[in-house]
Amino acid sequence: MDSIHIRGGVRLQGKVRIQGSKNASLPILAATLLTRGTNHIRNCPKIADVYRMLHLLESLGCQVAWEGDGVRVNAEDAGLRQMPADAITGMRSSLCLLGALLGRTGRVVMEYPGGCVIGARPIDLHLGALQQLGAHFHEEEGTIIGEAPRGLTGTLIQMPKSSVGATENIVLAAVMARGETIVRGAAREPEVEALCAFLCQCGAKIQGIGTDELRIEGGRALHGAQIRVPADRIVAGTYLLACLGTGGSVLLEDAPIGHMGAVIALARQLGATLQASSEGLFVQAPDVLTACPALSTEIYPGFPTDLQSIALAVMTAADGTCLIEEKIFENRFRVLEPLTDMGGHFARIDARRVLVEGNSTLQGREVEARELRGGAALVVAGLMAGGETVVRGCAFIDRGYENICRDLRELGARIYRV
């Protein structure tokens, strides 16, 4: 089993290019199933979840080929076929095949999807919305079977709660449905916007992109298109926070600055100097980080839950205390145990709130990643810590980071994969 070895205590310095977005590329790849012709998905990150999605598309009959920094997908001959169960259960994003396959074939058969264990993560919002479009679902031995025998029909969908994945599923199904679909309470995350932008490139008509009310005119034939996947705001945020944790100065090339408002605001509160330019985002850490008194995760444009564990790790070094509240997922504090082992001090208030007591000096330890972003938080903690840190469970980190060791070595870190 691979592990990441870090000798901490180096201030990160230099520049690093930010990879394409995981959460934007996955639904876009699923969307290629709705098209006839070849799609070119440029700046597609080479991460485990993308490889899984491509494997799933191939199993459905798509032609897939990497070309430079992108991937070409032709779904001309795609249809409903048996998909490899491990690729479905290995990631939450396989869920977007529900909407895409219902849209393409009117039928879907798949195992319950997996993904990081960061909360209950039910799929009721996905199924409920697709049912409103005319699909019926039942379950047979852990397999979801969805059918739309009379086809999908556009309707008004009022989301009871904001959900990125459910909004993406609605969009994927609704572009193929008869008539207009209106989604109220749609998720506004940039990844939903990227999916809609791609579908519009393919010939779909979607209005209200980037707002919480989407209007989708369904039933148009979609052709192949080209898109450049936006840079990953979570990877950019990870390296920004790593820079602050190590007292460094870093240029994040291609950082999606317009999508990073909340993390930029946090960095300013911590005392960082930031400068945006055509090259990217320059970040200079202060001599001493000033803890922000409170930080809570929110739906976009609030502070992203995917950066919460990483912010928590950095907060251990700040001057003062910080109350962190997790409002999106209920099981996102699993990183507290290894961070406590490394010398972090925390007071757990309740299931969703933790008080980080700052001014701690972390010490290198052998720790285990148990999910993607928590794993990245342990890598950042290792960069901040004295001595050697060994992070096991790299497979989780590979789900979202192309090559975290290469990127951080470019910034001067002493970090190796063994």
Tell me the catalytic residues: 116
Query: Using the rule CB under 6 A, is 123 a contact of ligand UD1?
Result: yes
Smallest gap from residue 93 Cβ to ligand UD1 (A) = 4
Contacts of 308 (CB under 8 A, 6+ apart): 295, 297, 324, 326, 332, 373
| Binding flag, residue 139, ligand UD1 (CB under 6 A) | no
Return the residue of 165, 245, 271, 338 that touches ligand UD1, per CB under 6 A.
165
Amino acid at 15: K
- At a CB cut-off of 8 Å and minimum separation 6, what does 299 contact? 162, 187, 188, 189, 328
Total of chain residues touching ligand UD1, rule CB under 6 A: 24
Minimum CB distance to ligand UD1, residue 55 (Å): 16
Stretch of residues binding ligand UD1 (CB under 6 A), selected from 120-128, 251-259, 338-346, 374-382? 120-128
* Exposure of 367 in the CB half-sphere (CA atoms within 13 A): 31
Identify the residue among 54, 166, 262, 411 touching ligand UD1 (CB under 6 A). Answer: 166
- Count the Cβ atoms, other than its own, within 10 Å of residue 220: 14
Q: 35, 39, 94, 163: which one contacts ligand UD1 (CB under 6 A)?
A: 163
Confirm if 195 and 171 have CB atoms less than 8 A apart: yes
- Select from 1, 68, 82, 122 the one that contacts ligand UD1 (CB under 6 A): 122
Which CB atom, from 191 or from 254, has the smaller least distance to ligand UD1? Answer: 191
| 142 torsion bin: left (phi>0), alpha (psi -120 to 50), beta (else) | left
191 binds ligand UD1 (CB under 6 A): yes
User: Minimum distance from CB of 364 to ligand UD1 (Å)?
Assistant: 28
- Token pair belonging to 168: 């993406």
Exposed (0-12), middle (13-18) or buried (19+): which is 107, by Cβ within 10 Å? middle
CA distances from 7 to 46, 183, 324, 343, 409 (A): 26, 49, 28, 16, 11
Of 79, 119, 293, 302, which one interacts with ligand UD1 (CB under 6 A)? 119
Determine if 328 is a binding residue for ligand UD1 (CB under 6 A).
yes
Closer to ligand UD1 by Cβ: residue 86 or 124: 124
Stretch that binds ligand UD1, among 73-81, 116-124, 246-254, 309-317 (CB under 6 A): 116-124
Nearest in space to 162 (alpha carbons), one of 130, 131, 185, 183:
185
The interface mask with ligand UD1, positions 284-313, x = CB under 6 A, is ---------------------xx-------
Pick from 5, 55, 121, 353 the residue near ligand UD1 by CB under 6 A. 121
Q: How far apart are CA 42 and CA 25, in angstroms?
A: 9
Would you call 364 helix, strand, or coil by DSSP?
A: coil
Inter-residue contact 343 to 362 (CB < 8 Å): yes
- Is 161 a residue that touches ligand UD1 (CB under 6 A)? yes
Helix 190-201, helix 164-174: angle, nearest 10: 10
Contact in structure between 14 and 413 (CB atoms under 8 Å): no
Where does this chain touch ligand UD1 (CB under 6 A) — which range of 28-36, 119-127, 138-146, 282-290? Answer: 119-127
Stretch of residues binding ligand UD1 (CB under 6 A), selected from 114-122, 217-225, 253-261, 275-283 = 114-122
Output 74 or 305, the one with its CB closest to ligand UD1: 305
Is the torsion defined by CA of 208, 212, 213, 214 positive or negative?
positive
Q: How far is the CB of 247 from ligand UD1 (least distance, A)?
A: 28
Is 164 a binder of ligand UD1 (CB under 6 A)?
yes
> Which residues are near ligand UD1 by CB under 6 A?
23, 26, 92-93, 119-126, 161, 163-166, 187, 189, 191, 305-306, 328-329
